[in-house]
Amino acid sequence: MPQSPQSHPPTPEQVRSLRRRACAVFLALSLTGTAALTALTFGAAPAAHAAGVPAPSPIGIAGRGASVPFTELEAEYAATNGTFIGPDRLYGSLPSEASGRQAVTLNAVGQYVEFTLAKPANAMSLRYSLPDTADGKGRDATLDVRANGQSVKTLPVTSKYSWYYGGYPFNNNPGDTNPHHFYDESRTLLGSTYPAGTKIRVQVTSTAQSPGFTIDLADFEQVAPAAGKPTGALDAVADFGADPTGGTDSTARMQAAVDAGQAQGKTVYVPPGTYTLYDHVVVDGVTVQGAGPWYTVFGGRDPVNRNRAAGFYGKYVPGGGYTGPVRPHEANGPSKNVTLKDFAIIGDIRDRIDDDQVNAVGGAMSHSTLDNLWIQHVKVAAWMDGPMDRFTIQNSRFLDMTADGVNFHTGVTNSRVTNTFVRNAGDDGLASWPQDKPNTNISFDHNTVVLPILANNIVTYGGKDFTISDNVMSDTISNGGGLHIANRYPGVNSGRGTAVAGTITAARNTLIRTGNSDFNWNFGVGAIWFSGLNEAVQGASIKISDTDILDSSYAAIHSIEGPISGVEFTNVNIDGAGTYAIQAQSNIAAKFTRVTAKNIAQSATPIHNCIGAGLQITDGGGNSGWNTGQTCSGLWPAPVWTNGGVPSDPTTPPTTPPTTRRAPGAAGTGGMPRPARSGPRGARCPVPPRGWPPARRRPSHAPGTPAGTASPPVP
């Protein structure tokens, strides 16, 4: 029977019961299918609503993260007669991949989740999970969308873009181990604008197509009308015959349109419609503009040549980051002066094949901009193979990729990702990897990166003079942390000028429930972590300031694989760590000034140190809560979670965010057995050998990785 709605947080026994029932629901459905330096919003369960545990939200943190056009409402705090699941961070469990690690499962006709609009809205994007099918191909189903009791939409939902198994790069075989990547999103225009206070209900009308539906959240927004053709623009439909019904392949017609736009110096306007592309369109010196990402949508994949799919690519640079075959119209890059804006690319990528060029945006583009794009169901939203210069991604949404959200690969300079929302990437959310040519002066700022399924929210592998600031990172799932700064992956070394160098500024970031268990290492990765795998991180100035590290799944700060130096932590608030405040597994020299910590699970020994004098702490004053004891027990403790997990006293959940003092003037791998998860009590904690974990990723069109090194991110 579904759990009755509650008007108060669950008791400890109810929590244990809920966790047991969550596992039961998850297994049943699977088998059936075959600091705070700024204000935080805490989820709270109103009367007669689901029994969600209060947890900090990554949305709406003033001054930090992307300024999104939607209002996010979590299912666990909505009215429902379904079953609350979570909180749980165990890799492979259904709630572990939900926002806040909690959700609601509906498994009977008439069950629903009902959201109350906080602002007027005419559109909704629903994040959900359906169980897989026995053959791994996935299922299609529908949900009824109701406004104040009246049915207004039938929402298609699917599991065809979710459920992966096995070891890297993963497969669609339910008989393999390690099921993960459970969730997807479906969007709809509601047909009318509904005022604040409207009850929008998502309800099950049939279980014939799917035995269950797990609802994570809904994003509601007010979508503006479709934009018309700019004066003087070319029309891709009227002038070049692109098919807005999606019934035929429009690749050649779109290529003709952009070539004409370049030749004539005119914008190419793409009217409302759904356009099928069996290959990427190569752009150079042109603006491609849609009617808005809710109206102009590109999609498709070649039914024969499955390594080609919808996208827009710049021209490849000879000797650059891309080393695969190049067709004549793709050669002699980089492209320059490209603008792609106001449309969506919603692809049809249901697997991860590293060599396939099925990214939404790729190649090399200098002096170019991506603006207001919605990208979903592709391999990588934007894998950019330099050298290239002055490239900007802004005001965009990247959802449900099988690999990275963004990767700046090889010789990318003076470039930026800003005001962009990334959720459910299959690998790193935002990444820079200068494989054999330096990446310099990159800025990842004012972005929100949520729920990367593998690896990190934001990472720089090497790089010089980076800014990673004013971001929100939350809910890392496995094998990574929130923020990673490292000399890792092939080609990253000082001999090539690609190692971490110059000044790396990470200021005013908020990390929530980041870091998680690495299923290769079988211990936790920190929320902010450093690696010197290829060579020591030295000679750079790494400044981390005015940062909140909240409810980390394991350690808050972590060093591993090689010596780290030149790090300064200033005005850092650590509130909640599942294990330690600091986990030193390699030599690290760092200065700590006004770094405060509380709610550290290992409060008696908040520093894990098995390197002895290799941990060199310079005390800049104003520190508290973390330098009170050290341990090297040889065992990894089981994590204990706070805000987003089960509170130690569920009857008194947090009601106000923690605060941190400001400084004066400060600005506001393959075929592995299923691992033991989440740091089982009694697990050994050796310092891992260099080159461990085993290869997680491999290069695309690159020579084999030498023994003893990790494999690179994949385009």
pLDDT digits (tens, 9 = 90+) for 160-193: 999 999 999 999 999 999 999 999 999 999 999 9
What pLDDT does residue 701 have? 30
Whether 12 has a pLDDT exceeding 90, the answer reads: no
What pLDDT does residue 43 have? 56
Whether 61 has a pLDDT exceeding 80, the answer reads: yes
Residue 134 burial (CB < 10 Å; 0-12/13-18/19+)?
exposed
| Rounded-to-integer distance, Cα 52 and Cα 45, Å | 6
User: The whole model's pTM is what?
Assistant: 0.88
What pLDDT does residue 300 have? 98
What pLDDT does residue 38 have? 55
Instruction: Tell me the per-residue pLDDT of 617-655, one tens digit each, with 9 for 90 and over.
Output: 999 999 999 999 999 988 899 999 875 433 333 223 322
Mean pLDDT confidence for 88-112: 96
What pLDDT does residue 634 have? 83
Instruction: Tell me the per-residue pLDDT of 503-557, one tens digit each, with 9 for 90 and over.
Output: 999 999 999 999 999 888 989 999 999 999 999 999 999 999 999 999 999 999 9
What is the band of 402 on the pLDDT scale with cuts at 50, 70, 90?
Answer: very high
N-to-C CA span, the chain: 46
Mean pLDDT confidence for 600-608: 97
* CB proximity list for 47: less than 8 A, separation 6 or greater: 7
Whether 62 has a pLDDT exceeding 50, the answer reads: yes
Whether 453 has a pLDDT exceeding 80, the answer reads: yes
What pLDDT does residue 697 have? 42
CB 335 within 8 Å of CB 315: yes
The average confidence (pLDDT) of the chain is 86
- Tell me which of 200 and 34 has the higher pLDDT: 200
| Rounded-to-integer distance, Cα 59 and Cα 42, Å | 10
CB 548 within 8 Å of CB 510: yes
Structure tokens at 384: 């950019």
Cross-strand pairs, 178: none
The string of DSSP letters for 137-168 reads S--EEEEEEEETTEEEEEEEEESTT--BBSST
What is the band of 706 on the pLDDT scale with cuts at 50, 70, 90?
Answer: very low
Instruction: Tell me the per-residue pLDDT of 258-315, one tens digit each, with 9 for 90 and over.
Output: 999 999 999 999 999 999 999 999 999 999 999 999 999 999 999 999 999 999 999 9
What pLDDT does residue 54 have? 85
Whether 46 has a pLDDT exceeding 70, the answer reads: no
Q: What are phi and psi of 182, to 5 degrees?
A: -85, -25
* CB proximity list for 27: less than 8 A, separation 6 or greater: none
Whether 684 has a pLDDT exceeding 60, the answer reads: no
* CB proximity list for 541: less than 8 A, separation 6 or greater: 502, 503, 504, 566, 568
Whether 135 has a pLDDT exceeding 90, the answer reads: yes
Do strands 472-474 and 510-512 pair parallel, antiparallel, or not at all (unpaired)?
parallel
| Residue with token string 């791998």 | 669
